Structure 1
């Protein structure tokens, strides 16, 4: 089992977490003020960020590849984004047409660029098709919101893969002709790549030499060389040709986790025993799985509003609000909310589906799945459950849902009423957007997930006991203490309460003092091998603090995701931070 050290904790604002990794999924924001300044776009923070949470921050490798494509093919007034398939770019264009006000409906252009490696030198590399959407620079924030909500942007590893191909070709070209830049028109279109317009009009993309002529400085640094070593030594232990096998193994691992334990006390009337890897679909991010679940439902059934039950992660609600007819939001996730839903359904209102988390992020509330399932069966709507926070090892909720989603980038790094119609739609609409190298890393990192989760369960429960007994803590949100009567009904016999909890202190100043003095990694994301904390409400709801507070998500809330560090050491660090509170 991997161990975690504090010796290389990033202390500089904007540094990747973990340190010196080009594909880090978190970024160091060590103090409370760093997080506030990040949300307010202060230069002292945003100009120093080397990375960020993938859906909120364009990775530097992706940014570099975008700039190359824009230099070659964009108009001076245009920006771009890169996606893994044409269908995704088309959905982005539809989103822009809906949310970006423009008098020119043709101001969004799609293009495809095929990058071809030298197969004579490497039989393990594959051709890559880059799908690009060009749009007015003023529309970037709208396009970026599509990137954030859907989670369907290209992988940073895919960008790195393409840049490495271009770097190789650039080096070869430089060796062949040291002083002359090739401007041969056919060199781009025929030898190295091809571009295809999305409409009958030709794109204004006269090649300025080959696509790779600007890549010469990409890998010219010790930092990148070190990153490459870390990736090769500790991660990329299989070539890209093994991607499909890795994906199959991931699916089988998920299926094995869904099988009901014979010791489980969970009622068996909804057990699904015949689930196979054919019922498992992989997506590039957890949010992507939620987005596509909603999209599949909109395709399978008449378009109706959905229900968002409980205070879910921010983009789940945004997806339901922005894509399709909208949604009803029951943010408290309480029994009285279920009463209101029942009244709504009794009035004759039809809904598309009900989305919820088990337990919720960040308040760790567990919804009454049995009662919701009764309503779903009576009023004919499916239930979608995101069990990322609970995870496969701790809870069994599959029997109560029609679609279950989970984030494989977190800890895990049929007999259904709607089965036939959903399976038909998914088989027709599903695209495998998971980049092969990401699948290889996920498979590798998930081999010991059960052991890791058990250790994390133990440490998190001990830390929560410490915090719960402190008079300085106003409220502690952890499944063991929040709606425990519901959570325990679905907890596996040998499971636990998970590694995520949230804390609220008696004042915002106390929250800041605790957070600033806490000697652990501090940044967005959760479910990592290392303990990670963030001022959740500041990062997720900074521009709607009053609205979030009305559902109990106060501005001073700190969310903690426990990792694999030594339990005693963690307890000492949390006690020291409690002692740092002067109020």
Structure 2
């Protein structure tokens, strides 16, 4: 399969091109990535689209402005976050109040939140209103909790109210004519009225894919877990809860465990995606971060658990493998500790592709960002939480989510917008075939990179903690579609990023190869801290798409040709 390179994508253009609901944005050079975080001339606000939790889509911003108009509030004095339920407004209020308490020592002013209901045709928007000077706190809820409305929801609301014109940022990289209208769904999607059917199909596919990670019971007693195991038998669509983002699934799990034990501690083992760690740290009063995820870190965890003078641990979280280092923690050892001390163990399996490993029997719950490879289309967001009711904590989680979350009401609220569900259902129909193809291509690319002299280190499960990863790799599984390389110097990484002629921007798991200077984008202002955990400035994350191996290798060769020769030091895999 030959895919045209996206080098024609200029800075700030949506990816996929011309898609009103694109969830990535072209950041073609190293300088462009640093400009975003330096905030030169309010440059972020000129992006019409971007990764939805990090940048307000222009239609969402337009909806927020219309809410302020309905409420007769001055947009220079007040800000607005449009949400889709009163429950989310209460969660946002609690989040903002907690942030004020955390910042009170620094002289922060209490956020004056009010909620209001606005109507747009047949649609209702629950707005959280805050003083404009507290915008960064309010948008922290949007980015770290992931409960904001989608661009499709905003577009439907605005169109229902007759507001069809696009209010794009002035002097930005995109004009209205460059974005395709999206008032109706293409004919090969389920109609929006069938959203509930779409959600059921998504849940059924997730269950079927997870069932397939279990080996068939062929009488081989050396196989630890088969499809006859209670965790496989207990897995049904009632075990699956859908969310509008992977991060909102993570926040929901955090909130569930925190509400059950607010005085306890959470543990994060290994270096995770930046928003995940911040979500843990901002909700729990005490979060133990064991950022290397090594056996030594698990030794430290064991010491903490055995010390009765330390606050009790009530949540044990890790990624498998981690993003961006693709490390595999020792899940069997974590499971043993979780059993010994009666702690919920939950994991995020997004980075490696959840179908590649058999992990459900070991955990109480699993979270997955469906935005990534499950969708692949880069035009819709989604997430899920899957509980393992074969374990006691999993059963308690299901009860809290479906029956009583502590206040007599179910903790789960379905906020996945109908059109997003329909698009996600369409995109995920080909997940199994795409995942297999991308596994093969990525492994071939990793084999090429592992001895490349301009690569200082390669992070990929086949070469990173392979024994720990292989212990859970399913019969038909691979090593996933994500890898990271560390070049010898930041200057080399800059030359590489500037020269590689493929799509460059945030997210991964897309049907097209997507490269980003990961540390620059996610840890720019804490680069020294990230480097302590082997995430240096010159780390480049590469999400492989559906292109042929030859095409991807050609792009890499072009980038390496522009990269200066390294100093005389050894190449390593980790």
Quickly name the TM-score band, shorter chain normalised: 0.7 to 0.9
* Contact 2:70–2:118 under 8 Å retained in 1: no
Aligned to 1:128: 123
CA-to-aligned-CA distance 1:259-285 (integer Å, 9 cap, x gap) = 143359862277432211011000000
Count of residue correspondences: 524
Aligned to 2:87: 87
**Runs of 5+ in structure 2 lacking a partner?**
169-173, 376-388, 403-409, 566-574
Aligned to 2:200: 248
Match of 2:526 among 518, 540, 544: 544
Match of 1:525 among 466, 488, 507: 507
1:262 aligns with 2:215: yes
1:319 aligns with 2:279: yes
Q: What TM-score results when the alignment is normalised by the length of structure 2?
A: 0.87
**Runs of 5+ in structure 1 lacking a partner?**
117-126, 168-214
In 2, the alpha carbon distance for the partners of 1:325 and 1:563 equals: 40
In 1, the alpha carbon distance for the partners of 2:294 and 2:4 equals: 40
Aligned to 2:473: 491
Aligned to 2:335: 373
- The Cα shift of 1:566 comes to 1.8
> Over the residues paired in the alignment, what is the CA RMSD in angstroms?
2.3
Within-5 A mapping of 1:416-427: 416-427=391-402
1:469 aligns with 2:451: yes
Change (3 A) 1:132 1:456: same
Segment drifting more, 280-289 vs 414-423? 414-423
Partner-residue secondary structure (3-state), 1:272: helix
In 2, the alpha carbon distance for the partners of 1:44 and 1:54 equals: 18
- The Cα shift of 1:50 comes to 2.3
Change (3 A) 1:566 1:445: same
Aligned to 1:196: none
Partner-residue secondary structure (3-state), 1:482: coil
Segment drifting more, 377-386 vs 82-91? 82-91
* Contact 1:110–1:131 under 8 Å retained in 2: yes
* Contact 1:219–1:225 under 8 Å retained in 2: no
Change (3 A) 1:473 1:250: same
Runs of 4 or more above 6 Å deviation = none
- The Cα shift of 1:225 comes to 6.9
In 2, the alpha carbon distance for the partners of 1:371 and 1:7 equals: 44
* Contact 1:308–1:331 under 8 Å retained in 2: yes
Match of 1:31 among 26, 29, 32: 29
Aligned to 1:170: none
Match of 1:57 among 42, 45, 55: 55
Within-5 A mapping of 1:110-509: 110-116=115-121, 127-167=122-162, 215=163, 217-218=165-166, 227-228=179-180, 232=184, 234=186, 237-259=189-211, 260-262=213-215, 267-268=224-225, 271-301=231-261, 303-348=263-308, 349=310, 350-413=312-375, 414-427=389-402, 428-509=410-491
Q: What TM-score results when the alignment is normalised by the length of structure 1?
A: 0.86
1:13 aligns with 2:7: no
Change (3 A) 1:154 1:47: closer
Segment drifting more, 455-464 vs 276-285? 455-464
In 2, the alpha carbon distance for the partners of 1:582 and 1:9 equals: 21
- The Cα shift of 1:46 comes to 2.7
The higher radius of gyration belongs to: 1
In 2, the alpha carbon distance for the partners of 1:344 and 1:147 equals: 33
- The Cα shift of 1:391 comes to 1.9
Match of 1:43 among 41, 44, 54: 41
Within-5 A mapping of 1:553-564: 553-564=535-546
In 1, the alpha carbon distance for the partners of 2:109 and 2:324 equals: 42
Change (3 A) 1:550 1:143: same
Partner-residue secondary structure (3-state), 2:242: coil
Partner-residue secondary structure (3-state), 2:251: helix
Partner-residue secondary structure (3-state), 2:161: helix
* Contact 1:356–1:385 under 8 Å retained in 2: yes
CA-to-aligned-CA distance 1:456-511 (integer Å, 9 cap, x gap) = 11111111111112111100000000000000011111111001000101111111
In 1, the alpha carbon distance for the partners of 2:57 and 2:223 equals: 43
Change (3 A) 1:385 1:487: same
Segment drifting more, 279-288 vs 567-576? 567-576
Change (3 A) 1:311 1:231: farther
- The Cα shift of 1:45 comes to 4.2
In 1, the alpha carbon distance for the partners of 2:6 and 2:187 equals: 19
